[in-house]
Amino acid sequence: MNTPWFIHFSRPQRSRLRLFCFPYAGGNAHIFRAWAEQLPPWVELIGVQSPGKGSRALERPCTTVSEMTGKLMLALEPLLHDKPFAFFGHSNGALISFELSCMLQERGLPLPRQLLLSASPAPWTREFEQPYSAMSDEEFKAALQDLNGTPQEILANRELLDLFLPGLRADFSLSETYVYARARKLSVPTSVFYGEHDEIEEHQVHAWQEEIEPPIRFDRLPGGHFFIHSHLELLTAMVGSRLRELEVQDRASRSLESVA
């Protein structure tokens, strides 16, 4: 798998499922490094690293969801056929993983066994009073400090922040320019996680059900928008539980096939 899009954090010799993890705006694939010790040992954990982030900081970032998912699809497609997979996305990552799932469905390609959406309103409910992408560089840097999602070692180093600034600005442009336009609902089992102290309204969270066909499982976690960090063990335990349920379903299916 020779592509800069994916970083392996665990690669079991006999992995039974791939979990692709999509970071929030201002984060990069390495926010998922600690998950390797928390998830079931048979899960192949892969962080998604987009242009302009982390080791790809000098690459031109994607500024629209369609551009990102189109390029990501080329890297992803070879990994869809040999074993089951699931998507986890936090905040902006939820939007990307949802849209990518819709693309897979439209193209008749294998779908995620589970779509795990975290800390994100349904994208068609979003409203932007002051788009971050329209801010001056200084206004945007100040906003990053308030959001508390970008590593402090970047925010505290002006040269480093200037290096990562195009990628960070592009992150916010993704959701601000996105328009949902799909002809049919997504038919993928989905779980939605949200923080009880997040600023996202609960009706925005539950609006995901409008465009996802199977009944969604909604789980409220303690904490605010970044419960992915403040309640890491709880979140990964819940994610692991969802993936273990897939294992149980597969074993039951194989047992029925052997009887038949």
- Report the pLDDT averaged over residues 205-212: 98
Question: What is the pLDDT, as a whole number, of residue 260?
Answer: 60
Question: What is the pLDDT, as a whole number, of residue 113?
Answer: 97
In the chain, the percentage of residues whose pLDDT exceeds 70 is: 96
Q: How far apart are CA 17 and CA 104, in angstroms?
A: 18
Q: Are 6 and 49 in contact (CB under 8 A)?
A: yes
Question: What is the pLDDT, as a whole number, of residue 129?
Answer: 66
Spatial CA neighbour of 168 closest among 199, 132, 200, 122: 132
Domain extent listing, the chain: 6-254
Length of the chain measured in residues: 260
Spatial CA neighbour of 19 closest among 2, 27, 7, 3: 7
Res. 259: pLDDT tops 70: no
Tell me whether residue 230 is one of the annotated catalytic residues. Answer: no
**CATH superfamily of this structure's domain 6-254:** Alpha/Beta hydrolase fold, catalytic domain (3.40.50.1820)
Spatial CA neighbour of 32 closest among 60, 62, 53: 53
123-174, pLDDT tens digit by residue?
Answer: 999 887 677 777 888 888 888 888 776 777 888 888 888 888 888 889 889 9
Q: Please tell me which residue, 243 or 26, carries the higher pLDDT value.
A: 243
Q: What would the DSSP string read from start to end of 73-127?
A: HHHHGGGSSSS-EEEEEETHHHHHHHHHHHHHHHTT----S-EEEES---GGG--
Q: Which of 91, 101, 173, 175 is catalytic?
A: 91
Report the predicted TM-score, pTM, of the whole model to 2 decimal places: 0.92
Question: What is the pLDDT, as a whole number, of residue 168?
Answer: 87
Spatial CA neighbour of 241 closest among 101, 86, 13: 86
- Report the pLDDT averaged over residues 238-244: 97
97-133, pLDDT tens digit by residue?
Answer: 999 999 999 999 999 999 999 999 999 998 876 777 7
Ramachandran angles phi, psi of 180, nearest 5°: -75, 130
29-60, pLDDT tens digit by residue?
Answer: 999 999 999 999 999 999 999 999 988 989 99
Q: How far apart are CA 64 and CA 178, in angstroms?
A: 7
Res. 187: pLDDT tops 90: yes
Q: How far apart are CA 232 and CA 179, in angstroms?
A: 31
